[in-house]
Chains A and B, each alone.
Chain A
Amino acid sequence: MTTKHLRILGLALLALLALAPLLGLGVYPMHLLIMAMLWGFIYTSWALMGRLGMVSLGHGAFLGIGAYTVVLLWNAEGLPPLAGSAIAVLVAASLALLIGYPCFRFKIVGHYFALVTLALAEVVRLVIVAMRDVTGGSLGVTPVPGLQSGATGSLWALQFSDRIVWFYVILVFWVLALYVWHRVDRSMSRLALQAISEDEDAAASIGIDVTRTKLKVAVLSAVMTCIGGVLYAQYQMYVNPETVSGIGVSLQIVFGVIAGGMFVMLGPTFGAVFLLALQETLRVLVGNQVHGLDLLIYGALLIFFIIYLPKGILGTILEKVTRTEPTTVAPASGNAGAGQVPAPRGRP
C-alpha cells in the first residue's frame, strides 16, 4: 500500500465520518465521536510543537485559559462566547509569546523546557483555584444557560442542545487542525524547525532565525489549544480546574499523542480515539466495582506503550504497512520508507 492509497482511504473514512450523524446514532456514540474529535483537535495542536522537539507539558494552561475566559466573561459580563473566545485567543497568544520568547531566546530546551511549561500549567490551575470567588474554585463552573425556551441552539450563547450541531462544529475544527498540520508540514518552517530540533547552533549558523521560527509554531499551537478549551467548555457546559488545566490534563495530552504516534498526521487523533476507547472500556468493565482500577490499568498500559512502542500505535502500523511494499520514491531504509512521514528526531 502506498501513501496515495492511504490518502484515498483517509478521504473515504472522512466522508463516512461526516455522514455518521445521519445514521441516527444514539446519544452515547455521538458523544464519543465528538469527544474523540475534540481531543483529536487538541492533541494535534500539541503535536505541531511536540514533534519538532518542543515538548510542552504546559498545554493545560492554554486549555484552561480558553475554557475559563469564555465561561467567566459570559457568566459575569454576559459577553457572548464568540467575542469571549477572541479575548481568550489574545490572552493565550500573549502568554505563549511571554513564555516562549525568553525560552527560545535563551535556549531553554529538553527537560528544562518541559519543566518550565509544566510550571505554567500549574500556575494557571492554581490561579483558577485561588480566585474561587469568581471561578468557583475546585468545584468548577457552569455557563449560565442561554437558550430561549423551545430553542435548540443559540449562536449568541454558543450553546446547542442538539449534538449533531456540535458534531459538525467540532468536525470542522478537527479537519482544520489536520489542514494546519499539513501546511506546517509542507512549509519552510517545518524544515527549519526540524533542523533546529537536531542542532540549534548549526541551524542558526545557516541563517535560520531560531527564536522567531519556534515562536511562530508555539503561538499557533497555543492558540489552537485555547480554542479547544473554548469548545470543550461550551460542549460539556461544565469546567473544573483539574480537567482543563494543571499537570494531569497536560500529561494526558502528551500521552495521547505519544500513544498514537506524533510523527504522522493522524497519530494524535488516533491517540485520542485510543485513550477514549481505553477509558470508556475500562470504565464500563471495571469502573463501577473497584474505584480506581480502570486508572490502574490505564497507567500500566501507558508505561507499556512508551517502553515498547515509542513511535506510537499508528506510527508503528504505518511504518510496517508502507514498508512491506516497495516504495517508488525513497529507499525503504529507516523512516524514509514511511513516505510523507517526517523522520523522527534521532539522537546523534
Chain B
Amino acid sequence: MELFDIFLLEAVINGLLLGGLLALLALGLNLIFGVIDVVWISYAELMMVGMYAIFWMYTEQGASLPLAFAFGIALVAILGAAMHQFIVRPVLSAEPINQLLVTGGVLFFLQAAATVAFGVEFRNIGIRLGGVSVADVNLSIARLIAFTVALAAIVATYLFLNRTYTGTAIRAISQDRAIMPLMGVNAGKVYLLTSAMGGALAGIAACLLVLQYDVHPAIGLSFGPITFLICVLGGLGNLVGGFIAAFIFAQFISVGGYIFKIEWGYVMAFGFFIVMMFIKPEGLFAKRR
C-alpha cells in the first residue's frame, strides 16, 4: 500500500463530514448538560423520533420535504421541552444517578414507542442524492449537505448564545445556577427553553441523518453512546471542547473503520476515550474553574 492512499484520503474526508454531524448532536447534549446539569441518555432517541416524524410526513402523508423537515424539527423541540417538564423537572433535586436513569427510562420508552408505531423494519424516505467526484475522491452529496447545515446550525447557536439577551441569560445560568434566579432570571423558563433548543438541534440532526441512513427503532443506540462520550471527552458542558472532540472521534471511526473493520473503528474511538479519561479526567478542554 502506498503511503498516500486515495481511499485513505476519502476516509479522512468522510470522517470530517461525519464530525460535523456528531458535533451538532454533541452541541445539543452539552447545552442541556451545561445549563441543567443533567445528562440525557436518551438524547439520540429524540433524534430517532425526529427521523420517524420526517419519514411519516414525507412518505405516508405526502407532505413536501421542507414541510416534513419543519414538522420534524418542531416536534422534537416540543418533545425536548416536554421531556424537561415531565421527566427531568420532578427529579431535579434527586440524586444525580436517578436523573441519569430516568432519562435512560425514556430511552427504552421511545424505542418501544417507535416499535409499536412503525415496527422494527428499516425505513427510508427513498431519496438518494448520489455523489460527486472531486479529483478522484468520491463524496456523498448528502454528507456534504449534512456537514454544511450542521456547521451553520452550530454557528447560529453560538451567535444566539452570545449576541441575544436570552442567550446571555442561558449562559449566565450555566455559570451559576444558584445566583441567577436571585438576579431576576426565571430559571424554570431558561431550562425549558434550553431543553427545547436541545430538542430542535436533535431535530436538525434528524433531517440530516434521514438523508443518509435508514431509520429503525435502535438507530439511537448507534449515535447515543458516541455523542455523550464526545461530550465527556470535550469536558461535559464545554461547547467548544465538544466540537473539537467530535472531529477527533469521527476520524477514529472513519479511518479506523477503513483500515480495519467498521466496528473496530468504534472500538478504537471508545478505547481512545478511556485512555484520555485517565490522562485528562476532566476532559480535554475542561472549563476553567
Contact = CB atoms under 8 A, between A and B. Distances in A.
Interface in B67-112: 87, 90-91, 94-98, 100-102, 104-112
Contact of A295 (B112, B221, B267): B112
Given A107-B281, A115-B39, A303 B112 contact: no
A157 interface: no
B120 to A, nearest CB: 7
Nearest to A112: B232
Given A122-B225, A123-B267, A126-B266, A295 B108 contact: yes
A347 B90 contact: no
A198 B228 CA distance: 26
B66 interface: no
A291 B100 contact: no
A302 B228 contact: no
Contacts of B114: 292
Interface stretch (A22-30, A85-93, A225-233, A247-255): A247-255
A300 B261 CA distance: 37
A106 B270 CA distance: 19
Contact of B107 (A102, A129, A251): A251
A242 to B, nearest CB: 9
Q: How large is the interface on A (under 10, 10 to 19, 20 to 34, 35 or more residues)?
A: 35 or more
A119 B274 contact: yes
A96 to B, nearest CB: 13
A139 interface: no
Main secondary structure of the interface of A (DSSP, over half): helix
A293 B119 CA distance: 11
Interface of B: 39, 41, 87, 90-91, 94-98, 100-102, 104-116, 119-120, 217, 221, 224-225, 228-229, 232, 236, 261, 263-264, 266-267, 270-271, 273-274, 277-278, 281
25 contacts: A103-B278, A111-B39, A112-B236, A112-B281, A114-B100, A115-B232, A118-B228, A119-B229, A247-B224, A251-B107, A254-B101, A258-B98, A290-B116, A291-B119, A292-B113, A292-B217, A293-B116, A296-B112, A296-B116, A298-B112, A299-B105, A299-B110, A299-B111, A303-B87, A307-B87
Interface of A: 55, 99, 102-103, 106-108, 110-112, 114-116, 118-120, 122-123, 126-127, 129-130, 247-248, 251, 254-255, 258, 290-296, 298-300, 302-303, 306-307, 310, 345, 347
